[in-house]
């Protein structure tokens, strides 16, 4: 019998237990902090307790319940074990919808209209065509690439920035550190979609904000650790940035006392941009557990040297 541990220090993953056992009744599933978790063969995780892998002598596989794995790796020693993530085609659709809402919020000046409403002020924000709102996609992986395929058809000039050169129809792509400042200079709405790595941690900082045109806006739906919050608050106060939509935070839930809640120009959403369906997660986890048992290659393994 394969033993599975559902590990998280910030979320209750117990809802996965019936989903996994419904697909594979032979699985023995324990939910952290049940002591049986430490004897598991497979760890299914979201933000697991730091150091927990070292306390699991039988562990053979670490599996994320999402597309990202940085929360599985931060501060952890994976002991050379395989790490897998979830790939759900619906993730790209959900992210496209979220980013489109953010783009429209700033392009159509809905943020200003809402501010006017709170002040009971009837004032029509000036409207401009989509051709005058340049979208910068920082990250052109599965999610960024899907967005880049749609926005040009809606009339938006789209620039993309990635670690390595890419070719996407209708998109001007900048690659590597040397092209980063030029990419930023041609961006009115910056959308952060890069994976969290040592190179991207804190990338949304004062230097990045000051390289954008004055009055630009920022959308972070990558990871909370990409953002230096104090630098964002300062850039908004100085008028360098017009606004920001933040969906991810270094600590979730966001502390009620955090100044981001009340910073003028900031819209906070509760990590809702996109997520895989629980059924899809369970199906992919069970499929990899069976591959592991049969000695087959695992699906959606992570290159730990890159972090994704």
Domain that holds residue 145: 90-268
> Is the domain of 141 the same as that of 215?
yes
Let me know whether 113 and 247 are in one domain. yes
In a domain, 305, yes or no: no
* Statement to judge: residues 160 and 61 lie in one domain: no
DSSP 266: E
Question: What is the dihedral sign for C-alpha 95, 98, 104, 109?
Answer: negative
Judgement on whether residues 8 and 50 belong to the same structural domain of the protein: yes
Domain shared by 170 and 24, yes or no: no
Q: How far apart are CA 32 and CA 140, in angstroms?
A: 35
The one-digit pLDDT tens for each residue of the chain (308 residues) are: 899 999 999 889 999 999 999 999 999 999 999 999 999 999 999 999 999 999 999 999 999 999 888 888 877 889 999 999 998 888 999 999 999 999 999 999 999 999 999 999 999 999 999 999 999 999 999 899 999 999 999 999 999 999 999 999 999 999 999 999 999 999 999 999 998 888 999 999 999 999 999 999 999 999 999 999 999 999 999 999 999 999 999 998 899 999 999 999 999 999 999 988 999 999 999 999 999 999 999 999 998 877 77
Would 13 be classed as within a structural domain? yes
CATH of the domain at 249: 3.40.50.720
138 is a domain residue: yes
Is 269 in contact with 245 (CB distance < 8 Å)?
yes
Query: What pTM was computed for the model?
Result: 0.86
Q: Which residues are catalytic?
A: 223, 271
* Buried residues in 43-76 as b, exposed as e (16+ CB within 10 A): bbbbbbbeebbeebeebebbbbbbbbbbbbbeeb
**Residue 105 shares a structural domain with residue 83:** no
* Residues 28 and 173 reside in one and the same domain: no
- Number of domains making up the chain: 2
Q: Do residues 120 and 68 both lie within one domain?
A: no
């Amino acid at each position: 019998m394969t033993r599975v541990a559902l590990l998280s220090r910030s979320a209750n993953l117990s809802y996965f237990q019936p989903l996994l056992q419904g697909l594979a009744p032979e699985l023995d599933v324990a939910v952290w902090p049940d002591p049986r978790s430490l004897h598991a063969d497979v760890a299914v995780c979201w933000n697991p307790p730091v150091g927990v892998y070292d306390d699991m002598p039988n562990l053979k596989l670490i599996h994320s319940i999402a597309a990202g794995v940085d929360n599985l790796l931060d501060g952890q020693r994976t002991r050379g074990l395989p790490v897998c993530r979830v790939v759900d085609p619906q993730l790209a659709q959900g992210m496209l919808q979220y980013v489109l809402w953010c783009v429209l919020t700033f392009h159509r000046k809905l943020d200003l209209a809402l501010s006017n409403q709170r002040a009971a002020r009837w004032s029509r924000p000036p409207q401009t065509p989509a051709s005058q709102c340049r979208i910068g996609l920082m990250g052109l992986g599965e999610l960024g690439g899907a967005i880049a395929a749609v926005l040009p058809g809606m009339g938006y000039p789209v620039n993309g920035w990635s670690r390595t050169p890419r070719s996407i129809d209708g998109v001007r792509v900048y690659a590597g550190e040397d092209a980063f400042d030029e990419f930023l200079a041609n961006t009115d709405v910056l959308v952060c979609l890069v994976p969290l790595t040592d190179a991207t941690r804190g990338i949304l900082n004062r230097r990045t904000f000051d390289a954008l045109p004055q009055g630009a806006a920022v959308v972070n739906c990558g990871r909370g650790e990409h953002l230096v919050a104090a630098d964002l608050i300062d850039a908004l106060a100085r008028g360098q940035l017009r606004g920001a939509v933040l969906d991810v935070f270094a600590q979730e839930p966001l502390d009620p006392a955090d100044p981001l809640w009340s910073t003028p120009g900031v819209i906070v959403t509760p990590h809702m941009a996109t997520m895989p369906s629980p059924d899809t997660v369970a199906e992919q986890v069970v499929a990899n557990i069976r591959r592991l048992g049969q000695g087959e290659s695992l699906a959606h393994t992570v290159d730990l040297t890159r972090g994704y």
